[in-house]
Amino acid sequence: MGHLLDHQRLNALFGRSLLTTHDWSAADLDTLLAVAHRLEQMDRGGISTALLPNELAYAMFFDNSTRTKSAWAGAAARLGMQPVIVDGSSTQVAHGETAEETGAMLGMNSHALGVRHDLILGEGNSFMRDVQRGIDDYLAASNDPRIVPIVNLQCDVDHPTQALADLLWLREHFGGDVAGRKITMSWSYSPSYAKPLSVPQGVVSLLTRFGAHVTLAHPQGYELLPGPMAWAAQGATESGGSFRVTHDMDDAFAGAEAVYPKSWGPHALMVERVAANKAGDGAAMRDIEQRALAHNAQHRDWICDERRMALTGRDSAGDALYLHCLPADIGAEVTPGVMDRFRVAVAKEANKKVYVIMAMLAAAKVPDLALRLADPADVADAS
Ligand code: CP
Q: How does pLDDT run across 44-88, given as a tens digit for each residue?
A: 999 999 999 999 999 999 999 999 999 999 999 999 999 999 999
φ/ψ region of 297 (left if φ > 0, alpha if ψ in -120 to 50, else beta) reads: alpha
Q: Side chain identity at 248, as an amino acid letter? A: D
**In the predicted structure, residue 378 carries a pLDDT above the cut 80:** no
Question: From the CB of 68, is ligand 1 less than 6 Å away?
Answer: yes
179 lies in the same domain as 130:
no
What 3-state class would DSSP assign to 370? Answer: helix
Q: Phi and psi dihedrals of 116, rounded to 5?
A: -115, 125
**Is 382 contained in some domain?**
no
DSSP state of 127: H
140 lies in the same domain as 115:
yes
**pLDDT bracket for residue 383 (50, 70, 90):** very low
Question: From the CB of 162, is ligand 1 less than 6 Å away?
Answer: yes
- Specify the ligand 1 atom closest to the Cα of 70: 8
- Side-chain-side CA neighbours of residue 310 (13 Å): 4
345 lies in the same domain as 357:
no
**In the predicted structure, residue 106 carries a pLDDT above the cut 90:** no
Q: What is the mean pLDDT of the chain?
A: 95
Percent above pLDDT 70 for the chain? 97
61 lies in the same domain as 208:
no
CA angle 326, 299, 265 (to 5 degrees): 50
Domain that holds residue 63: 2-158+353-375
Domain count, the chain: 2
305 lies in the same domain as 237:
yes
E strand or H helix at 217: strand 213-217
**Is 383 contained in some domain?**
no
| Sign of torsion over alpha carbons 29, 30, 34, 40 | positive
**Is 63 contained in some domain?**
yes
- pLDDT tens, 180-213? 999 999 999 999 999 999 999 999 999 999 999 9
- pLDDT tens, 240-269? 999 999 999 999 999 999 999 999 999 999
246 lies in the same domain as 136:
no
210 lies in the same domain as 270:
yes
Asked if 32 and 166 count as a contact pair (C-beta separation under 8 A), the reply is no
**Is 380 contained in some domain?**
no
| Of 206 and 377, the one with more pLDDT | 206
**Is 188 contained in some domain?**
yes
**Is 381 contained in some domain?**
no
**pLDDT bracket for residue 90 (50, 70, 90):** confident
Sheet holding 258-262, edge to edge: 242-246, 213-217, 182-187, 258-262, 321-322
Query: What does the pLDDT read at residue 107?
Result: 84
144 lies in the same domain as 266:
no
Over residues 110-123, the mean pLDDT reads 97
- pLDDT tens, 262-293? 999 999 999 999 999 999 999 999 999 999 99
Query: What does the pLDDT read at residue 377?
Result: 59
Number of Cβ atoms within 10 Å of the Cβ of 67: 19
Asked if 298 and 190 count as a contact pair (C-beta separation under 8 A), the reply is no
224 lies in the same domain as 297:
yes
| Of 35 and 91, the one with more pLDDT | 35
105 lies in the same domain as 212:
no
Asked if 338 and 304 count as a contact pair (C-beta separation under 8 A), the reply is yes
DSSP state of 66: S
How many DSSP H helices and E strands does the chain contain? 16, 9
332 lies in the same domain as 362:
no
DSSP-assigned states of every residue in 251-282: HHHTT-SEEEEE----HHHHHHHHHHHHTT-H
What 3-state class would DSSP assign to 108? Answer: helix
Over residues 97-103, the mean pLDDT reads 90
Distance from the CA of 129 to the center of ligand 1, in angstroms?
21
DSSP-assigned states of every residue in 1-52: -GGGGSHHHHHTTTT--BS-GGGS-HHHHHHHHHHHHHHHHHHHTT-----S
**In the predicted structure, residue 224 carries a pLDDT above the cut 60:** yes
**Is 134 contained in some domain?**
yes
Query: What does the pLDDT read at residue 92?
Result: 86
**Is 278 contained in some domain?**
yes
Distance from the CA of 299 to the center of ligand 1, in angstroms?
24
Which CATH number goes with the domain that contains 218? 3.40.50.1370
208 lies in the same domain as 136:
no
Nearest CA to ligand 1 atom 1: 325
Question: From the CB of 77, is ligand 1 less than 6 Å away?
Answer: no
Query: What does the pLDDT read at residue 123?
Result: 96
Nearest CA to ligand 1 atom 3: 68
Candidates 151, 154, 193: which one to mutate for ligand 1, based on the most atoms within 8 Å of Cβ?
154
Distance from the CA of 117 to the center of ligand 1, in angstroms?
12
Nearest CA to ligand 1 atom 5: 65
